[in-house]
């Protein structure tokens, strides 16, 4: 009976509520507060549906609607842009357009990730962020060593024991340069401790959430505890994808062909999808080649036809399809069937 469009921000939100005939019954701004939202929608609670564009602060509103039994729809920000982006744009117009799209059944929907595993997924993404920062610091140490034309480092700095043996600060004579290297090393040691603690916590949590799915994912050669965690938490429920092709599209493993009047106009919108899944499956393809002699022979044959880079993408898509079916059928990896398909 009523359709509520919310243009949500971190500290404020604009609400627009339409009735079944499309008439506006409420259109004003409120603070982004649970009580303010419930008070605003109170006269229209019977038959109300709420829609909000996907942005970083939607968690609390989705949880609030779930607590009170209010249907909640999360709009896909990138697809919504293609529908309602017009000449003028402000919070008032955006809320009205979201409500109109919801009423017309035209709102492109994103996945409302359930509360139970959502915080763990965010923690896993934070771990990836810390790993990238550690990699930046390690690269800075190597570059600084080259910048001062010092002897090449003969050991990998990623290992703490090697960093101790190399005694990097003593290589530099300038006090400021030495201090900079000491700062990098201190940060790397701190990040190492945090990353290891996060991994321990995440593995224990995954075994509570879905130990069987986590074990099935790790049955694929090349997928260890970290890649298994990424796949488990980024996919969550594989049943939300009707077919393997939908899953591959979400994982950015398809080429989005664009056509007009029977003519190809290029490939666009490649970035729509889950970047974390794309990274995990790309890494899994590289590690699978390292772990399997049969995969190396397959790659050599395919590379003659497609080239090395495209072959790696084909293998990543093949692994993505395998992950989809493993989770759907609840089976472990079978290399003979993998290469027979």
pLDDT tens digits for range 258-303: 777 777 776 667 778 999 999 999 999 999 999 999 999 999 999 9
Contact 219, 311 (CB under 8 A): no
Q: In the prediction, which pLDDT does 270 show?
A: 76
Summarize the confidence of residues 142-153 as an average pLDDT: 95
* pLDDT score for 267: 66
pLDDT at 269: 75
Rounded average pLDDT over 212-234: 97
**Candidate from 189-198, 205-214, 267-276 with smallest mean pLDDT:** 267-276
Given a cut of 80, is residue 85 above it in pLDDT? no
Mean pLDDT of all residues in 230-256:
95
Does the domain at 2-104 match CATH 3.30.420.40? Answer given as yes
| Dihedral angle computed from the Cα positions of residues 104, 110, 116 and 118, in that order, rounded to the nearest 10 degrees | -140
Mean pLDDT of 5-33: 96
> d(Cα 96, Cα 161) in Å, to the nearest integer?
60
Q: Structure tokens of 157?
A: 């700095």
Q: How many CA atoms lie within 13 A of 263 on its CB side?
A: 2
> What's the mean per-residue pLDDT of the chain?
94
Are residues 232 and 203 in contact, defined by beta-carbon separation less than 8 angstroms? no
Cα separation, 276 vs 280, whole angstroms: 6
* Burial class of 37 by CB neighbour count within 10 A (0 to 12, 13 to 18, 19+): buried
Q: Average the pLDDT over 48-71 and give the result.
A: 96
Alpha helices of 236-274 — where are they, by DSSP H? 244-250
Mean pLDDT (whole number) for 82-90: 77
What string of DSSP letters covers 151-215?
A: PPP-S-TTSHHHHHHHTGGGG--SHHHHHHHHHHHHHHHHHHHHHHHHHHHHHHHHHHHHHHHHH
pLDDT at 136 over 70: yes
Calpha distance 320→251 (Å, rounded)? 8
Angle at 134 between CA 130 and CA 136, to 5 degrees: 115
Q: How far apart are CA 177 and CA 148, in angstroms?
A: 9
* Residue 337 in tokens: 């069937």
User: What is the arithmetic mean of pLDDT over 156-165?
Assistant: 93
pLDDT for the residue 80: 87
pLDDT at 266: 66
On the 0-12 / 13-18 / 19+ scale of CB atoms within 10 A, 178 is: middle
Rounded Cα distance, 114 and 56, in Å:
15
pLDDT band at 226 (very low <50, low <70, confident <90, very high): very high
**pTM here?**
0.92
């Amino acid at each position: 009976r009523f359709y509520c469009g919310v243009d949500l921000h971190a500290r404020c939100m604009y609400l627009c509520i339409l009735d079944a005939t499309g008439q506006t019954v409420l259109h004003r701004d409120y603070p982004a507060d649970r009580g303010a939202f419930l008070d605003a929608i109170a006269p229209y609670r019977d038959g109300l549906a709420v829609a909000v564009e996907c942005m970083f602060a939607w968690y609390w509103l989705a949880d609030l609607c779930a607590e009170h039994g209010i249907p909640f729809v999360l709009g896909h920000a990138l697809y919504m842009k293609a529908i309602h982006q017009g000449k003028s744009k402000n919070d008032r117009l955006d809320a009205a357009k979201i409500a109109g799209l919801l009423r017309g059944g035209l709102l492109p929907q994103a996945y409302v990730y359930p509360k139970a595993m959502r915080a763990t997924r965010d923690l896993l993404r934070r771990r990836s962020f810390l790993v990238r920062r550690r990699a930046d610091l390690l690269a800075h140490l190597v570059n600084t060593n080259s910048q001062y034309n010092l002897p090449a480092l003969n050991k990998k700095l990623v290992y703490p024991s090697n960093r101790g043996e190399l005694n990097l600060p003593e290589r530099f004579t300038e006090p400021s340069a030495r201090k900079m290297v000491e700062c990098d090393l201190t940060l790397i040691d701190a990040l190492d401790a945090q990353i290891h603690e996060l991994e321990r916590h995440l593995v224990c949590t995954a075994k509570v959430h879905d130990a069987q799915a986590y074990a099935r994912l790790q049955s694929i050669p090349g997928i260890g505890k970290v890649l298994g965690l990424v796949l488990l938490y980024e996919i969550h429920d594989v049943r939300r994808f009707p077919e393997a092709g939908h899953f591959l599209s979400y994982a950015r493993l398809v080429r989005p062909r664009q056509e007009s009047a029977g003519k190809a106009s290029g490939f666009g919108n490649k970035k729509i999808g889950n970047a974390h899944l794309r990274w995990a499956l790309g890494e899994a393809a590289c590690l699978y080649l390292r772990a399997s002699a049969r995969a190396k022979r397959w790659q050599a044959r395919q590379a003659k036809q497609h080239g090395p880079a495209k072959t790696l993408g084909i293998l990543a898509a093949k692994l993505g399809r395998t992950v989809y079916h493993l989770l759907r059928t609840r089976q472990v990896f079978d290399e003979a069937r993998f290469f027979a398909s």
